[in-house]
Structure 1
């Protein structure tokens, strides 16, 4: 039985606590707010899961037990993620899992956490890439059924009214980090599952990491700050693989899907194909589409994620697709996206510089010695 500690008694903390208990783990949840702990115990947890689990221990952060934990999970607003992860490192757990997005676009402490991780394994909560549907889809890609890959397209278009319906104690975006892109909110941060899935699929297709980012964002202002309601990315990897990511918080009904197109056919992953079900749709050439459904519940997302982490605690385990490095790769692209929109320039990423803003720079102008003029515009 694993012993786990969870920072944050909000929505994600409840999901992680329930998933941990479903796996029979010992759970301690801590928060800076007694109100949040009470709301977890009296409202959120029993409403979602039927009844409060008295085996879950609760405490204020300052009184939280230190040491002896196998896994420490951070489920707070993003601006606190990395400072709490650094604090957790001092307890020497086997692993730390930080919820997505891993940090703010400023990337503060990102490289420091990487450098000081030591023997502790670090993960980021991009649970979609370890779901049953995505795992099955990736097996098709590993088997090279599509031949040469032409492009990858991922979209997570979902109005965030569903988020606020699940968080009735919030009146709107300005009440939380979601309404501030600099704090890791907005479409670029909240729906960065899409970008992370694109990057994961690119790795599976042997495309490498994202090397260039061309972005356009739509920003919305409120009394307290600014968030991006739409985030559109054109991406290119180190090997030249190209594609697109679209994330927004305005679309209803939602559309969450990924498409990989190759010379022999196409593969589609549909999140929420129908209620309680994801799907993988494979179509070879002009043949009929083959659809495989993957039933699931919302708790399943987190149970599967924690099972994956538990299976990767051993030092002999392969690199995880939800490793800290993968999560920081995603946040570096998010940071580059905001910079790209700000400068109206395509940006390039230098991973050798580390997970810092200095790794992002404008791409040099493309030169075409024998360029043909566009006669339609002449």
Structure 2
């Protein structure tokens, strides 16, 4: 039986624990706050999934077992990820999984993390689970199969008022009580909704356009005594091949819109998360064709189950697929860092990928 330690008993930690149990894993969930563990047992987990799972072991963080896990999942705020990941790697698991975004946009410690993981031969993954959902996988299959012609552009939006996030963290009074309200810690729209930028980059690789090499962004920042965040980030991106597109992320739109479209010279493919009630939607069409529409059941816990199933395949050596590999997550962090710099300077920022995952890669 696969055994996992889940660090962090907030909303994500509960999702990851439930997903792992859905696949029959042994789950140890830990948090530095004993109240968070009680909230998990008596509130979050039973309300979300119907009943508390008595097979899950709860530990105050420094009392959890060490060195006995196949995988360690980190579901804490982004400014704690890298230090926790390095410590987790040293326990000797086969894989360490970090929730997104990987880290704050200063990228401090990213290269050290990669070095330690390489030394210990530990796989690293990042929680961009939308890429593994059945609807998005259908979109990706269509991108590979349809005669779309030359790709003209990619558009992605992850626009969602963060009231939904705060509702899932009802013990917080507002964004000022966590990293959410501080972009320097990995919050704000660019960090918290970075599914969008990550998806844009993934699609660019799928269609053969390569990595993002230039970023131009405008942002609407909120700054006061308690908050410093981007409530909207609009990003134009250029890839190695010269493909241009855009990604918009915000924490103000309701109802939410999570959407991606690839436009080719001869056709298009479009994905929309919960594009109709209870359904994800994929739309596609070619020259002169009627738009075809396919729908897929929408159930948020299923996204995490798909993610953990992918991790299980990585552990078993059944796949070498890269969508949630640490390198992809850190590529997204470079784009986030470039977007903030561009928005503040009012000019485009180039990314030199040969420089590594450091701010010096931004030109």
TM over 0.5: yes
Query: Radius of gyration: which is bigger?
Result: 1
User: Which residue of 348, 351, 362 corresponds with 1:349?
Assistant: 351
| 1:244-263 to 2 correspondences below 5 Å | 244-263=246-265
Q: CA deviation at 1:144?
A: 4.5
Q: CA deviation at 1:315?
A: 4.8
What is residue 36 of structure 2 aligned with on the other side?
A: 36
Q: CA deviation at 1:314?
A: 4.2
- In 2, the alpha carbon distance for the partners of 1:9 and 1:296 equals 24
Secondary structure of the 2:230 match is: strand
What is residue 128 of structure 1 aligned with on the other side?
A: 130
Secondary structure of the 1:92 match is: coil
Equivalent pair of 1:312/1:320 in contact (CA under 8 Å): no
Where structure 2 has 5 or more consecutive residues not aligned to the other structure, the ranges are none
Secondary structure of the 1:66 match is: coil
Q: TM-score, normalised by structure 2?
A: 0.97
Equivalent pair of 2:274/2:298 in contact (CA under 8 Å): no
What is residue 323 of structure 2 aligned with on the other side?
A: 321
Alpha carbons of structure 1 residues 133 and 72: separation in structure 2 relative to 1, 3 Å: same
Q: TM-score, normalised by structure 1?
A: 0.94
Aligned residues: 361
- Ranges of 4+ aligned residues in structure 1 off by more than 2 Å: 313-319
Equivalent pair of 2:283/2:292 in contact (CA under 8 Å): yes
Equivalent pair of 1:157/1:251 in contact (CA under 8 Å): yes
Secondary structure of the 2:9 match is: coil
What is residue 199 of structure 2 aligned with on the other side?
A: 197
What is residue 183 of structure 1 aligned with on the other side?
A: 185
Q: Describe the superposition over 1:55-112 as per-residue Cα deviations: whole angstroms up to 9, x where unpaired.
A: 1011111111001211100000000011100001101111111000010001011111
- In 2, the alpha carbon distance for the partners of 1:117 and 1:6 equals 18
- In 1, the alpha carbon distance for the partners of 2:317 and 2:240 equals 28
What is residue 142 of structure 2 aligned with on the other side?
A: 140
What is residue 237 of structure 1 aligned with on the other side?
A: 239
- In 1, the alpha carbon distance for the partners of 2:63 and 2:167 equals 32
| 1:50-89 to 2 correspondences below 5 Å | 50-89=50-89
Q: Describe the superposition over 1:284-341 as per-residue Cα deviations: whole angstroms up to 9, x where unpaired.
A: 1232111111113111010001001111224573242100000000011000111111
Q: CA deviation at 1:140?
A: 1.3
Equivalent pair of 2:156/2:247 in contact (CA under 8 Å): yes
- In 1, the alpha carbon distance for the partners of 2:297 and 2:147 equals 24
Secondary structure of the 2:341 match is: helix
What is residue 162 of structure 2 aligned with on the other side?
A: 160
What is residue 112 of structure 1 aligned with on the other side?
A: 112
- In 1, the alpha carbon distance for the partners of 2:339 and 2:154 equals 18
Pick which of 307-316 and 132-141 moved more. 307-316
